[in-house]
């Protein structure tokens, strides 16, 4: 029994830095954050998650709460990016929770909860998106190609979404601020 408790404590210590009391206190890379938030145990650079999930986890192009969205590798994102869907607002707008995107307190790596993600693909198929960017306090001007969504089999972190997400703000971010 004591051995199991020690193993559990070690696993938690590896998953989150010592200073992190909750998932939202996390500071670091997007991959360990997404792994912890989604319960999907994939390792390696973010862009490799799509291929690694093949045959192990269902994948698709429709957002679902708890799914990991996998950004392709680009010149702006040389390692790709992964984030976890926290809310589906409507067909082309969702909220995600992720780490290492916007600057906070002058540094990258911080977790952000319920951030707007907007599907800007011509076919409305979630192949190209814009992401809310704290640095500019709105949707960034860049568009990013994504592979799609990986659907987990386990439980997601309880901090994945807030108690009062700003659905109206997400819609304004997406449709008015274009």
Q: What are phi and psi of 65, to 5 degrees?
A: -60, 130
| More reliable by pLDDT, 51 or 5 | 51
**Distance in angstroms (rounded) separating the CA atoms of residues 84 and 100:** 13
- Decide: helix, strand or coil at residue 14: helix
Kindly report the CA angle at 38 between 35 and 39, in degrees rounded to 5? 70
Q: How confident is the model at residue 5 (pLDDT cuts 50, 70, 90)?
A: very low
pLDDT number for residue 177: 58
For residue 2, what pLDDT is reported?
41
Query: Given a cut of 90, is residue 74 above it in pLDDT?
Result: yes
DSSP 110: B
Q: Which residue has the higher pLDDT, 135 or 67?
A: 67
* Cα–Cα separations (whole angstroms), residue 158 to 16, 108, 119, 127, 152: 15, 23, 25, 28, 15
Could you report the per-residue pLDDT of 78-130, keeping only the tens digit for each?
A: 999 999 999 999 999 999 999 999 877 778 899 999 999 999 999 999 999 99
Q: What is the pTM of this model?
A: 0.83
Q: What is the pLDDT of residues 138-149, one digit of tens each?
A: 787 899 999 999
On the question of pLDDT at 19 being above 70, the answer is no
Q: What is the mean pLDDT of residues 34-44?
A: 96
Mean pLDDT of the chain: 86
Using a pLDDT cut of 70, give the percent of the chain over it: 87
């Amino acid at each position: 029994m004591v051995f199991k408790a020690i193993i559990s404590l070690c696993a938690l210590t590896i998953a989150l830095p010592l200073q992190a009391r909750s998932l939202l206190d996390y500071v670091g890379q997007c991959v360990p954050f997404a792994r912890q938030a989604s319960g999907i145990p994939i390792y390696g650079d973010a862009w490799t998650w799509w291929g690694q999930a093949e045959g192990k986890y269902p994948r698709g192009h429709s957002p679902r709460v708890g799914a990991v969205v996998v950004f392709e590798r680009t010149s702006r994102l040389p390692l790709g990016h992964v984030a976890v869907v926290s809310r589906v607002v409507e067909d082309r707008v969702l909220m995600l929770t992720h780490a290492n995107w916007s600057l906070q307190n002058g540094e990258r790596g911080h977790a952000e909860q319920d951030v707007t993600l907007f599907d800007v693909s011509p076919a409305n198929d979630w192949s190209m998106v814009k992401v809310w960017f704290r640095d500019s306090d709105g949707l960034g001007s860049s568009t990013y190609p994504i592979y799609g969504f990986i659907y987990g089999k386990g439980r997601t972190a309880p901090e994945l979404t807030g108690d009062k997400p700003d659905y109206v703000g997400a819609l304004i971010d997406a449709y008015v601020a274009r």
